Amino acid sequence: MICVREDNSTENAAAAATAGRRGGGRKVSSTMEDLSLHILDIVENALSASADRVRISIHEDIPGDLLRLEIEDDGRGMDAALRQRALDPFCTTRITRRVGLGLPLLAQAARESGGAIELISEPGRGTTVRAVFQLSHPDRKPLGDIAETLRTILYSRPELGLRFDYTRDSEIIATLDTGGP
């Protein structure tokens, strides 16, 4: 885990966090304009943690005015110390850049739209990221191109066991299960 704090840390972090192009040519930057880019970033983290299976669930609860996003993997998981620092934008396990803005930006997006984030992880048991957003909040980021995000994930790791579920109230909107390991 690398933790960096500098003067003007917000400006430096945003500039340093631009990740450029990732699988399939989707641009992921420190702005992360839609939730599908957050999903792509978190799945990339799961793959870096040796995940063989990833489950992505999106649920719109219209009467409750909530949008729930959950990403679960079977990767290495995190110990308590790493889990505690995972939402700090100035800490990362990556060696390619000195900041890790994926989870902190998702947490910020959730908070800005009246929601919250939860991170559950144990070594050897994988990681689950749960984010909740107020569905009608004017600052909630749009879902974005979920289909392209799924294509990008599967293009970069065709052997990945990927399960995707999108529901609205009790109605199934979309589902995908590649099987996998």
- Could you report the per-residue pLDDT of 115-172, keeping only the tens digit for each? 999 999 999 999 999 999 999 999 999 999 999 999 999 999 999 999 999 999 999 9
The CA distance from 25 to 20, in Å, is 9
Nearest to 42 by CA among 102, 87, 2, 95: 102
> Is residue 146 a contact partner of residue 165, using CB atoms and an 8 Å limit?
no
Strand partners, 22: 26
Q: Which two tokens stand for residue 153?
A: 């994930």
pLDDT confidence band for 82 (50 / 70 / 90): confident
Helix, coil or strand: residue 47:
helix
Q: Is the pLDDT at 29 greater than 70, yes or no?
A: no
pLDDT confidence band for 87 (50 / 70 / 90): confident
* Mean of the per-residue pLDDT values of the chain: 81
pLDDT (0 to 100) of residue 91: 65
Nearest to 41 by CA among 73, 67, 10, 19: 19
